[in-house]
Structure 1
């Protein structure tokens, strides 16, 4: 890839660097206004024609987009003030904008609330046995207002920052007594969300098994709020979570299905209108299920690709990818920090970078079956390799069985998606074919059992894998150099790759040695109880008072701590609830 032939990609990289610069430096006041002035000067200079400026135009454009990233990210840093109501019970009027995953105690929603004419965004926690909230009503109830807490330690998930990136700064625990009144200010988006809500309820009324219903709602309507924890773990451990999430594959299949139907009724000379109508349909579908990152990216890329085709220009994948990133980030620069955004774009880059070189090692694709099988293998492998560094960095786990699972299941993904879309369409139209329900239920149950079987192969599943930022960067360098080795294996190409791998191993070994020299004692707050961890070298011991919460402690405390501190061995022990203080190396630690 010659970067000078990808100006849009270079500009979006400069734009992202500006976002990252503002995120770290937090420019404000005089320095921020100075950035605006410099950008205006650069913009004026670009418009002024001269020989010198012509030579430096590329540099000035990069600098302009860097400044634009700073400016937009500054304006996308959200803040509201209802601090006078925090940690108090207040009467709140609110509406919901999105349903979140249900917990053991609460149904969770994102929405906008109002207290005494002060507006704020919040996550609303509604008792689980309360009625389901919809998008066409305002609700009024007493609620306890809190703010998400800062994490105790650096290895914990920063939930407060995560919510703030979604422009949410508060949590509201709503009482059971909820009053409602019908809204008279519904937007087209609200009406689409309400219709989707109705379809989800209609799916619940069908005779299919619960797991099949939840799968259908997830794969087509992007609703995974009620999927049981066991199924989610199966998809995660088998590396098939992308199959359940709405992604590029789903959008392409739905576009292709609609286009296939249209060309059967539209004359050949009007074929371009079939493309336009199909694009309009996927955008309507995207609005219907909510504009997630992967959905938005897929719709933009597909639209740009076919606009090139309609204009009889050669399509360019990287141009489409860069434009997708621009449109999403201009709308909200905080989206860059979303894990889904990063993984989605990396997967496409990986397919662009590695798919064709890998495909050359397979036999000639002289029929449809070979083309489907070989492309499935190479595309899946390319996407997984490209996203692997970030997967390890964020989730600290990987399963080699995911490679096999993708090869086995992905070739049938088009059939499953089309079948699922047809079932959803029938349900939304009020048509309930019992025979089709039985057949679909049977097919999905087999699919879920296969995924469960792959997830059960623990011997190929690795967790608590430590990975810091520098290691991630070096692994990306390795992946960049890997392409040249695949294309042409020689001493020059392989030596660069070997050197990068050696540098990675040196950095990783140094990081392990540095971390294993430390001793550490921490008091962790978990729910209503505290627990203590004692670390020596690459070993740690966790003392907890309530073994009933062992699984949750393992998931939210032990595993994140072990991956952060590069712990190779750990054990969990119990202590009595009556213990209030612990003495270790002449230091007293208070557990209460």
Structure 2
């Protein structure tokens, strides 16, 4: 475990920063200050004793501990300051300008041959404009397992990034033009994230893509988990209250679950036929994401779609086609050029997509016998965490611990039901 942490230098600062946020939100300032002071005094006393005994580790661990304590104090002080002043997310002038631009970009969507609710779905899917989306439509998408499509997330940013990268194929990755290509891609994905409202999931995807692009451009070794930690750390430094945003939690848990489970699930079957392998890969990604987010969805929403795994592939297929086509349509109309074939294609795809979601959304969802409490959620994720440790390390004690926490979860569900 220590070796894994050394390979990912952002893991420890992220954990300390998370602790600081939680302490600041749930513990009074006076108690936190006294606690940190006692820890510092204890560390000073312990350091003197270790120096007298001439520890083999020297002073390396002391500097590391003081650094982490300083980061913890900085985190607590920063969050307390934000709580005291105004912790709400503020909008800069440039972001307000982006929101005005978003409303202007909605005009070409009104020219499409679609009903009003389908136009609202398309506006939400491409530009993140959810103000006019009805609650019944959101519920329909949720029951179909496609609610994530209505929130601009890493999927949308990834589709836009892939489309732009395809358009910029003349700029070779092996020449110095790769720097120009990287800059254009970075500006484009952040502009897209800003226009769509800077949702936590979109910012997460933009950060991760930015770090990935920088690593590829300067040809440095990349690590997915370290990129995940660095992205979370940067976002929480900018706005600590992202931690309590549902989109932030679901997005980061889904990505972390995909990192760990996707390759393991996909490798269960060695498929060479691309017509079978590609659907299987999509299914593996969807299943991996839901392993990490399933408990959280039950906790927040009390239900989850029973057909989300089956609907994942067609929903993703339609979205991959609709998002680029709709964005190209918007740009062309704004330039004064109305392309009728593109008009017909975008309208037909959106109409077919909405009809598919409307039909599949009539299937009854999965609901637990009893609503999950915070303690139950904590027990489920501890069980899942130690199960991941067991899958990776193959130590029996991890499996026993995972089963223990799952037993506690089952007992909590039984007690809740009886009472």
**TM superposition score normalised by structure 2:** 0.85
Q: Flag the 1:324–1:489 CA change in 2: closer, same or farther, 3 A.
A: closer
Is the Cα–Cα contact under 8 Å of residues 357 and 487 in structure 1 kept in the other structure?
no
CA contact (8 A) 2:318 2:353 kept: no
Q: Distance in 1 between matches of 2:199 and 2:283?
A: 26
| Larger relative contact order (Cα-Cα within 8 Å, sequence gap ≥ 6) | 2
**In the alignment, what sits opposite 2:8?**
6
Matched residue, 1:270: 176
The answer on whether the counterparts of 1:350 and 1:383 sit within 8 Å (CA) in structure 2 is yes
Cα distance in 1 for residues equivalent to 2:406 and 2:100: 52
CA pair 34-499 structure 1, distance change in 2 beyond 3 A: closer
Confirm whether residue 478 of structure 1 aligns to residue 386 of structure 2.
no
Secondary structure (helix, strand or coil) at the match of 1:227 reads coil
Cα pair distance change 1:326/1:483, threshold 3 Å? closer
1:62 equivalenced with 2:64 (yes/no): no
Q: Pick from 226, 231, 248: which aligns with 1:319?
A: 226
Match of 2:266 in 1: 359
- Structure 1 residues 502 and 258 mapped into 2: Cα distance closer, same or farther (>3 Å)? same
1:207 and 1:434 in contact (8 A); partners too: no
Q: Do the aligned residues in 1 keep the contact of 2:171 with 2:181 (CA within 8 Å)? A: no
Secondary structure in structure 2 of the residue aligned to 1:398: coil
Q: Deviations over 1:243-289 (max 9, x none)?
A: 12111111122112112211225695234132332122111222222
- 1:446 — aligned with what? 352
> CA 1:342–1:510 in 2, change beyond 3 Å: closer, same or farther?
same
Match of 2:24 in 1: 22
Residue-by-residue CA offset, 1:340-386 (whole Å, 9 max, x unaligned): 1111111111111211111121223x354444222211111111110
Give yes or no for contact 1:351–1:379 (8 Å, CA) kept in 2: yes
Higher strand share: 1
- Offset from partner CA, 1:550-585 (integer Å, 9 cap, x none): xxxxxxxxxxxxxxxxxxxxxxxxxxxxxxxxxxxx
Match of 1:414 in 2: 320
Contact 1:78 1:167 in 2 (8 A): no
Superposition RMSD in Å: 3.3
Distance 1:370 1:456, change over 3 A: same
Deviation, structure 1 residue 304: 0.8
Find the partner of 1:467 among 372, 377, 389.
372
CA contact (8 A) 2:212 2:222 kept: yes
What are the Cα deviations for residues 96-129 of structure 1, in whole angstroms up to 9, with x where unaligned? Answer: xxxxxxxxxxxxxxxxxxxxxxxxxxxxxxxxxx
CA contact (8 A) 1:18 1:66 kept: yes
Task: List per-residue Cα deviations over 1:279-331 (Å, max 9, x = no partner).
Answer: 22111222222221111111111111121222222211122112211221112
How many residues were matched structurally?
A: 404
Output the CA distance in 1 between the equivalents of 2:36 and 2:223: 37
1:33-87 deviation line (CA, Å, top 9, x unaligned): 977x969x99xx9xxxx9643123333333222222211111111557xxxxxxx
